[in-house]
């Protein structure tokens, strides 16, 4: 875990105030590291200027891996390695492979994106996500600003947060 990082943490009670504050603070050239909220806030992604997630692309890749793997495995097993006579059909025929291929595609895609999501969100095993303020899991919106990424001083950012409607401004070191 990286150490010696200094954060200014703003606590917000209301999501409308939060949305306005995000725009105002970013308008002042301050880089916001992350905002934590107890429920999804509509329009927060756009306000923070996040790019769209690339998770669907990962999902497609995992899915198509599953498709190819399932088709190859079934064809190899039933067509070459251990051919079986099932109702007089061809050993390797497409129709009965389709349901298995479909299910395996879904399995690979869903497991793949869940695992990818856990890794990119820093929730993989043996990694502990930072908690800037435990109340973000209850009723407060928490905005974290990394001092190392910003030119403004701690006090200036704190004042800006207060002006934008933060109910508290704290400091947090990791």
Among 16, 28, 34, 60, binds another protein (CB under 8 A): 60
Nearest residue to 31 via CA among 48, 17, 18: 48
Among residues 120, 125, 104, which one has the least CA distance to residue 55?
120
Q: Please answer whether residues 16 and 171 qualify as being in contact, where contact means their C-beta atoms are separated by less than 8 angstroms.
A: no
Per CB under 8 A, 87 contacts another protein: yes
From the list 54, 99, 111, 148, which residue makes contact with another protein (rule: CB under 8 A)? 99
The residue range among 3-11, 69-77, 81-89, 107-115 that interacts with another protein, by the rule CB under 8 A, is 81-89
When binding is defined by CB under 8 A, the residue of 34, 49, 56, 118 that contacts another protein is: 56
**Cα–Cα dist 144/128, whole Å:** 17
Q: Which of 13, 43, 115, 155 binds another protein (CB under 8 A)?
A: 43
Residue 165 as a binder of another protein (CB under 8 A): the answer is no
**Judged by CB under 8 A, does residue 95 bind another protein?**
yes
Query: CA-based Rg of the chain, rounded to a whole angstrom?
Result: 25
Q: Does 98 bind another protein (CB under 8 A)?
A: yes
Please, which residue, 52 or 151, has the CB nearer to another protein? 52
Q: Among 143, 147, 161, 167, which residue's Cα sits nearest to residue 28?
A: 161
Selection from 55, 44, 58 nearest residue 15 by Cα: 44
By the 8 A CB rule, do 146 and 7 touch?
A: yes
174 lies in the site for another protein, by CB under 8 A: no
Within 106-135, the residues that bind another protein by CB under 8 A are none
Residue ranges in contact with another protein by CB under 8 A: 42-43, 52, 56, 60, 87-89, 95-96, 98-99
């Amino acid at each position: 875990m990286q150490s010696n990082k200094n954060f200014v943490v703003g606590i917000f009670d209301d999501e409308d105030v939060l949305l306005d504050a995000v725009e105002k603070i970013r308008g002042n050239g301050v880089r916001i590291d992350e905002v934590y909220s107890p429920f999804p806030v509509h329009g927060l992604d756009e306000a923070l200027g996040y790019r769209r997630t690339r998770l669907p692309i990962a999902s497609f890749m995992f899915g198509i891996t599953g498709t190819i793997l399932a088709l190859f495995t079934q064809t190899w097993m039933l067509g070459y390695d251990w051919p079986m006579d099932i109702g007089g059909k061809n050993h390797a025929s497409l129709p009965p492979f389709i349901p298995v291929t479909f299910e395996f595609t879904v399995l690979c895609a869903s497991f793949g994106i869940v695992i990818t999501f856990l890794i990119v969100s820093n929730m993989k095993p043996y990694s502990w996500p930072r908690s800037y303020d435990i109340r973000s899991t209850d009723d407060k919106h928490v905005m974290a600003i990394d001092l190392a990424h910003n030119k403004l001083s701690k006090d200036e950012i704190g004042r800006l947060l207060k002006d934008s409607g933060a109910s508290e401004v704290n400091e947090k070191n990791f």
